[in-house]
Amino acid sequence: MGPFGNFAISFSVVSVLSGCMTLYGFGLITGGPAVMVWGWVLVGLMVMFVGAGLAEVTSAYPTSGALYYMADQLGGRRWGWYTGWLNLLGLLGTLAGIDYGAALFTGALLNLQWGVDPTPGVVMLIFLCILVLHAALNLFGVRLVSVLNSVSVWWHFAGVAVIVGVLAFVPSEHRTASFVFGEFVNHTGWSSSLYVVMIGLLLAQYTFTGYDASAHLSEETTDAEVSAARGIVRALGWSWVAGFVLLVGVTFAIQDYAGTQNSATGVPPAQIFLDALGLTGAKLLLLIVIIAQLFCGNAEVAASSRMVFAFSRDGALPFSALWRRVSPRTGTPAAAVLLTVAVAALLALPALYSKAAYGAVTAIAVIGITPAYAIPIFLRLRYKERFRQGKWNLGRWSVPIGWTAVVWVAFVTVLFCLPQTNPVNVESFNYAPIALICVLALASFWWAVAGRGSYTTPTFSTSSGDRELAEMSEEIV
């Protein structure tokens, strides 16, 4: 991959047409337009701090292992071990959220086209088919993934422009600016407006995940010390702008707020398209969104499978010898790809019986992957003497930006472990904390059983300011 390809994979995984659209219905009840729009601005700003801090550490340690390797080198083996497990949980949760969201939108399109009832069973079947498609595409090799990601960038920019442009000029009626930027809606069952505002930040925080993909593809990127770091920051910056435009444009076009929430399609944005444009226009815009979501999911499989591969290469997973195998024909970690999609399928299974499961899956992504972003930044600040800056760095701004990032991550991690709707019961329960506890318990168990002896990472050597991997696996060689 070149610099653009590396940027493209993170931009594709962040995917405003995936995150913003699939959680739009969640945003309608947890604060409404005001929280969606201003929450996007706030979260986007804070995530830029996190992304910049992570980019600086990525420049110093450009490897497929990414976050856990950084933590290992700066804080020691145990830091690397737990960071890796958190990163893996977040990546797999993100993949489950992306592809299940694509399944929801595909179900809505089938409903409009052929009257198919998008029941949980139907959506789950579509979801599994999408996972199989993404596995197949990734097994062809990284060059195809790179090409698809490059196309994805332009598809996202053009898609946002088309959707916002059509919704701006075609409908005869639009909401007022005071509604879009000031309307607060609380249908969560909680009485505290502040609590609802904070829970409503999940839409933006979930969308701004997966940008570590640039770091995970470092070993397949030219001049990774600079390209991967820039890829992270540029992906976040452009996503911040594009997502704001998309959310504002779609919200202006709402015709019937209650009808949008209770759409027969199961997808509120589909109802907005339908009310504003009619059947044909709605189907065309849905197709734009679905294709963008498919690009996004494909990029996430690439990033997640590289994490599985790298973690296995370092002996951290059960049956590591299997997951670190690389196809001699394509150079792709095929077994890691298959494991990635299989676990993502398991994470989404509760959606068969719980309406709140999708929100829980997205919360899993946030509370898994976001702390993993902050740990290398924290360790870089704590152990300054161990850190040697790469070619891309923040200079004197490194410390204030780093601590801002760490504090923000601690806040959102606790926040998204909390229940999202009231009353709390089996159907509405946020099982994200349970998933987090299970993964940490599994990590602790496996460390005691095998990880303490099997887990090891390669080391970096420096020569004339240039870093090279001193030890590479036989598969990569």
Cα 305 to Cα 107: distance, rounded to the nearest angstrom: 27
What's the pLDDT at 462? 36
What's the pLDDT at 474? 34
Cα 123 to Cα 279: distance, rounded to the nearest angstrom: 21
Q: What pLDDT, in 10s, does the model give residues 394-435?
A: 999 999 999 999 999 999 988 988 888 899 887 777 877 888
Tally of CB atoms within 10 A around 320: 20
- Which of 30-34, 275-279, 353-357 is predicted least confidently? 353-357
Q: Scan for tokens 């470092």, then name that residue.
A: 218
DSSP state of 15: T
DSSP-assigned letters across all residues of 229-277: HHHHHHHHHHHHHHHHHHHHHHHHT-S-HHHHHT-TTS-HHHHHHHHHH
Residue 249 has pLDDT above 60, yes or no: yes
Q: What pLDDT, in 10s, does the model give residues 282-339?
A: 999 999 999 999 999 999 999 899 889 989 999 999 999 999 999 888 888 999 999 9
Cα 300 to Cα 216: distance, rounded to the nearest angstrom: 11
In one-letter notation, the amino acid at residue 331 is: G
What's the pLDDT at 434? 84
Q: What pLDDT, in 10s, does the model give residues 101-121?
A: 999 999 999 999 999 999 999
Q: What is the bridge-based pairing of β-strands 466-469 and 185-186?
A: unpaired
Residue 132 has pLDDT above 60, yes or no: yes
> Cβ neighbours of residue 231 under 8 Å, at least 6 residues apart?
3, 6, 7, 9, 10, 214, 221
Q: Which percentage of the chain shows pLDDT scores above 70?
A: 96
Cα 399 to Cα 35: distance, rounded to the nearest angstrom: 30
- Which of 107-116, 152-161, 348-357, 391-400 is predicted least confidently? 348-357
Output the CA–CA distances (angstroms, integers) from residue 23 to 1, 27, 29, 202, 261, in the order listed: 31, 6, 11, 8, 12
CB distance 356 to 427 below 8 Å: yes
- Give the chain's count of helices (H) and strands (E): 22, 4
Longest dimension (CA), the chain: 67
What's the pLDDT at 240? 98
User: Quick one: tokens of 247?
Assistant: 């959310």
Q: What pLDDT, in 10s, does the model give residues 255-272?
A: 999 999 999 998 999 999
DSSP-assigned letters across all residues of 376-406: HHHHHHHTGGG----SS--GGGHHHHHHHHH
Main-chain phi, psi angles of 417, to 5 degrees: -90, -10
DSSP-assigned letters across all residues of 435-477: HHHHHHHHHHHHIIIIIHHH-----EEEETTEEEES---TTT-
What's the pLDDT at 465? 34
| Residue of 61, 138, 91 whose CA lies nearest to 330 | 138
Residue 469 has pLDDT above 50, yes or no: no
Tally of CB atoms within 10 A around 467: 19
> Cβ neighbours of residue 166 under 8 Å, at least 6 residues apart?
277, 281, 285
All structural domains of the chain, each given as residue ranges with its CATH number in brackets, are 3-469 (1.20.1740.10)
Tally of CB atoms within 10 A around 149: 28
Cα 83 to Cα 3: distance, rounded to the nearest angstrom: 26
Q: What pLDDT, in 10s, does the model give residues 164-217?
A: 999 999 999 999 999 999 999 999 999 999 999 999 999 999 999 989 999 988
| Residue of 198, 153, 81, 191 whose CA lies nearest to 452 | 81
Q: SS3 for 51?
A: helix
